[in-house]
Amino acid sequence: METQSQLNYHRIAEAIEYIKTNFKSQPSLDELAEQVHLSPFHFQRLFHEWAGTTPKKFLQYTSIEHAKKLLKDKQATLFDTAFETGLSGAGRLHDLFINIEGMTPAEYKNGGNNLSVSYSFAESPFGNLIVASTPKGVCYMAFNDNEANALNDLKQKFPNATFLRKLDLIQQNALFIFQNDWSKLPEIKLHLKGTDFQLKVWETLLKIPMGQLSTYGNIAEQIGNANASRAVGTAIGSNPVAFLIPCHRVIQSSGNIGSYMWGNTRKTAIIGWESAKTDITL
């Protein structure tokens, strides 16, 4: 049976999917509320509580024209200016607090043999997720509403590791990212299993500022291989840590949102949520 939080997420997700499909017609508040069987007043309140902005503004944030504008605007934004001058306060970029440590070749080759992995389940604004860690850092985070399937996916990543269901400090620090107040966000360590190329791509993703977007081509250029867009896309699609490594901030050069391992609706929701958060911070 769904919890109220899960029900609310699915309602908002349905509304976002409707916005994605019908943004050109600029659906009204009444029309959106009707889609999820809520009164306009209740829907407006629930949407603002969940996304941090109104449905009308969210519609603007998630439109294709907004995505194109973000891609073409190379000038410093108010958010960037505030950050550079130390005025960003609680909205400071969480990316700067994330460091990647790659697994050793032996750890990578043997599928986590002798590796101890702790894991736990949690709720987020974008649905339920599983988060896992080694003593060195977060090794896995994924959105999944089914705990059994989530655990099975984790074990496939590290077939020879030992697993313990336990919420540790490393995982707690990572989950703080979903809270509204980031002023006391601790440093987050990631312990990732990947090739040198994948690690380089994932590190580059961490440099995309919150509230902004990049393209596969731009990422390829930043890692020094402008012709590797397809390989970059494959590496992004292999990202083992949802949200913390912001693969959701990479879209197609045309401005289309593109695919996402954990669902295009969720990707649209996260992009709009981050845009709303940076807008509200200012």
Convert the pLDDT of each residue in 74-117 to its tens digit.
Answer: 554 444 444 443 334 334 444 446 788 888 877 777 777 788 99
What phi and psi values does residue 242 have, to the nearest 5 degrees?
-60, 145
What per-residue confidence (pLDDT) applies to 70? 66
The alpha-carbon radius of gyration of the chain (Å, integer) is: 19
Tell which of 61, 88, 107 closes a domain.
61
Contact criterion met (CB below 8 Å) for 115 and 162: yes
For the chain, percent of residues with pLDDT exceeding 90: 38
Specify whether 81 is located in the same domain as 202: yes
Q: Which residues lie closer than 8 Å to 168 by C-beta, 6 or more apart?
A: 118, 133
State the pLDDT confidence band at 240, using cuts at 50, 70 and 90. very high
What per-residue confidence (pLDDT) applies to 280? 46
The whole-chain average pLDDT of the chain stands at 82
Report the 10 Å Cβ neighbour count for 90.
Answer: 13
| Encoded tokens for 12 | 């908002």
What per-residue confidence (pLDDT) applies to 161? 92
Specify whether 26 is located in the same domain as 101: no
What per-residue confidence (pLDDT) applies to 228? 87
Q: Which of 35-39, 99-103, 126-130, 231-235 has the lowest mean pLDDT?
A: 99-103
What per-residue confidence (pLDDT) applies to 26? 83
Q: Name the domain count of the chain.
A: 2
Nearest Cα neighbor of 55 from 71, 69, 68, 42 is 42
Report the 10 Å Cβ neighbour count for 99.
Answer: 12
Q: Which of 10-14, 86-90, 160-164 has the lowest mean pLDDT?
A: 86-90
Residues annotated as part of the active site:
247
- Residue at 66 is within a domain: no
Tell which of 19, 43, 61 closes a domain.
61
What per-residue confidence (pLDDT) applies to 208? 86
CB crowding 238-255: b at 16 or more within 10 Å, else e: ebbbbbbbbbbbbbeeeb
Q: Interior CA angle at 33 toward 243 and 277, to 5°? A: 30
- Residue at 37 is within a domain: yes
Q: What is the 3-state secondary structure (H, E, C) of the chain?
A: CCCHHHHHHHHHHHHHHHHHHHHHHCCCHHHHHHHCCCCHHHHHHHHHHHHCCCHHHHHHHCCHHHHHHHHHCCCCCHHHHHHHCCCCHHHCCHHHHEEEEECCHHHHHCCCCCCEEEEEEEEECCEEEEEEEECCEEEEEEECCCHHHHHHHHHHHCCCCEEEECCCHHHHHHHHHHCCCCCCCCCEEEEECCCHHHHHHHHHHCCCCCCCCEEHHHHHHHCCCCCCHHHHHHHHHCCCECCCCCHHHEECCCCCCCCCCCCHHHHHHHHHHHHHHHHHHC
Specify whether 229 is located in the same domain as 197: yes
What per-residue confidence (pLDDT) applies to 82? 40
Specify whether 40 is located in the same domain as 75: no
Judge whether residue 12 has pLDDT over 90: no
Residue 217 domain boundaries? 71-281
Tell which of 61, 82, 101 closes a domain.
61
What per-residue confidence (pLDDT) applies to 93? 43
What per-residue confidence (pLDDT) applies to 112? 73
Judge whether residue 6 has pLDDT over 60: yes
Q: What is the mean pLDDT of residues 206-233?
A: 88
Specify whether 46 is located in the same domain as 114: no
Specify whether 82 is located in the same domain as 126: yes
Specify whether 191 is located in the same domain as 121: yes
Q: Which of 17-26, 144-153, 197-206, 240-249 has the lowest mean pLDDT?
A: 17-26
What per-residue confidence (pLDDT) applies to 1? 65
State the pLDDT confidence band at 68, using cuts at 50, 70 and 90. low
Specify whether 159 is located in the same domain as 77: yes
What phi and psi values does residue 188 have, to the nearest 5 degrees?
-110, 130
Q: What is the CATH number of the domain that holds 148?
A: 1.10.10.10
* pLDDT greater at residue 99 or residue 63: 99
- Residue at 228 is within a domain: yes
- Rounded Cα distance between 91 and 130, Å, is 25
Specify whether 231 is located in the same domain as 106: yes
Specify whether 57 is located in the same domain as 130: no
Specify whether 137 is located in the same domain as 195: yes
Specify whether 48 is located in the same domain as 87: no
- Residue at 30 is within a domain: yes
What per-residue confidence (pLDDT) applies to 144? 94
Model confidence over 109-156: pLDDT tens digits? 777 778 899 999 999 888 899 999 999 999 999 999 899 999 999 999
- Residue at 107 is within a domain: yes
